[in-house]
Structure 1
């Protein structure tokens, strides 16, 4: 198949439309639950009131706003894949935005902006005395303003919206895991909730000490995802065929298709059992370097991969052993060829991870 044939074949899989809608029409869609903006994304997209005010300023001044991308589901509902923060800002300003618990949030009070400093303190409508409020004319101007939409129609390939989301967010301020979290919300909310819940467990947090910057980039959730990827891995110890970040994302997408909470309880149980043992054995030193006399340095991702892969694969055995025995085995890993030969600074994740997973299962065997 040559390039022309490839283009013709793939273009049959993606059907799109594009047209403009007034803000008033979009508000009606939201009220009628005909558009899904994923309130869970608010944990990830953190716009300040200043940024929100600048969006309202743009609407009032007719400054072009980037198109909003949506995917039409089989039930006809529009699933927003790019533009969540823009739409949620508008809905919050007019006082109808609902959070992930379906509760209406406090209306947005505008701040002064570069071109409209007098926006300071304004709200959409009266809430309490002494408030500055938009006039009927200003509210009409906002509701008549146009937003551009790009729609992936429901006849498209089922993966089209997820591929589109990844492409639209490639190179943005989002970390890889923040982008994965958004993707997972669209793929399987139940799995997203489970990953988030596990990432907040006390035993897990007690042994995984990461920086605040990494925590803000959703690294705890990435570590949970990687734990289950390691548990599920059945390949050889050869180098992966793709970059590790892409491998994690693609594994997650496949896992989300088959995820069911009842069937997944066994895996979640292994997670809790593993980190309970490690917390008891080593506490916050579980994934810090052992120099033969003491633990030092920051959290080591290589150590995390090796230790959690080995302990989880042999969980029944380690639950019969004393905590000190597990501590000794973890510490001995730092001088073992199984770990040292695969965890050096020059070893890429796509080579390192398969090696560490497969070799750890034998290293931690009883």
Structure 2
């Protein structure tokens, strides 16, 4: 297939329309339940009060606002792909924004800006007239227009996930895993909540002493997925991926659609990290140099040890000397040729992920 044929084939699977809509119309769509802005995303998209104020300022000063991207589902409801924080800010300002439990959030109070210093303390409705938008200002705000790009339901089903990923990475302040969390929420909220419960397991967290920065970037959540994916992935198809982040994105979406037994996974997960923390405490995934555990958590060690122990946990727990056996296996791991080969600089991430996952399963089999 030629380049042009590929372009034509892919483009023909995407159906889109562009509208100019007033903010008042968008408010009505949200109020009537015809637009899903995913309130769960508020934990991911962290705009400050000043950033929110700057958006309201831009609207009032006629400064163009980037387009909103939505996907239309089978019921005709708009699923917001890009523009969650912009729309949330608008809805919070007018006092109708709800959290993920359906409770009203406090209305936005504006801050002073360079162009509009009188914004300080202003609300949409305030008992103090000087600190409230006038009727004229409210009408101007609601009549302001924004471009809305609608991905029609006839489009390729993966389009909205591809679009979300592309719009929210690159120059974005979001980490890859934060974007991945949003993809999980959009695809299967129950699975996302299940992953978050695993992420909050005390022994799991205690095994992974990581920096605040990595915690903020949801690194532990990524590790949960790195543990779950090998049990469901088709290893023969990983050559289709050119980037490890792409593999995690698409295999996470696949997990969202898979028939998983959450109870079995939770029990195995809890048993795995209870055992690992009980034996190694926070050294479970730190390199052993023959005398002591050193350095930070190693992703390669996690991939090998966590996957291997998780896959074989029932058999390991039946060993009478399991603590001594596990200590020996973990300490010996760092002199294993397969592990050494896959922790040498220059090894590609995708083959390493496959080889260490499969090696861990075999290596930790009693």
| TM-score bin, normalised by smaller chain | over 0.9
- Alignment CA distance shift 1:97-1:174 (3 Å): same
Matches of 2:184 and 2:211, distance apart in 1: 24
Identify which of 266, 271, 274 aligns with 2:272.
Answer: 274
Query: 3-state DSSP class of the match of 1:123?
Result: coil
Q: How far off its partner does 1:94 sit?
A: 0.9
With normalisation by structure 2, the TM-score equals 0.94
Residue aligning to 2:281: 283
Distance 2:251 2:307 in 1: 17
Aligned to 2:146: 147
Instruction: Name 1:265's counterpart in structure 2.
Output: 263
Instruction: Verify the 8 A CA contact 1:191 1:259 in the aligned structure 2.
Output: no
Structure 2 gaps, min length 5: none
Distance 1:237 1:324 in 2: 38
CA shift, 1:160, in A, is: 1.4
Is 2:69 aligned against 1:56? Answer: no
Residues matched between the structures, number: 363
Structure 2 counterparts to residues 240-255 of structure 1, below 5 A: 241-255=241-255
Q: Is the 8 A contact 1:227 1:309 kept in 2?
A: yes
Partner of 1:200: 200
The whole-number CA distance in structure 2 between the counterparts of 1:157 and 1:69 is: 16
Report the Cα offset of residue 84 of structure 1: 0.2
Q: Where does residue 341 of structure 1 map in the other structure? A: 341
CA distance in 1, matches of 2:356, 2:240: 13
Map residues 105-184 of structure 1 onto 2, 5 A cutoff: 105-126=105-126, 132-171=131-170, 172-184=172-184
- 5+ residue gaps in structure 1? none
2:150 partner SS? strand
The answer (yes or no) to whether the contact 2:65–2:146 under 8 Å persists in 1 is yes
Q: Per-residue deviation at 1:323?
A: 2.4
Q: Partner of 1:330 in structure 2?
A: 330
Per the TM alignment, residue 215 of structure 1 is displaced from its structure 2 partner at its CA by 0.8
Counterpart CA distance in 1 for 2:290 and 2:56 is 60
1-side partners of 2:314 and 2:257: how far apart?
A: 29
User: Structure 1 CA distance, aligned partners of 2:75 and 2:221?
Assistant: 31
Normalised TM-score (structure 1): 0.94
CA apart distance, 1:191: 0.8
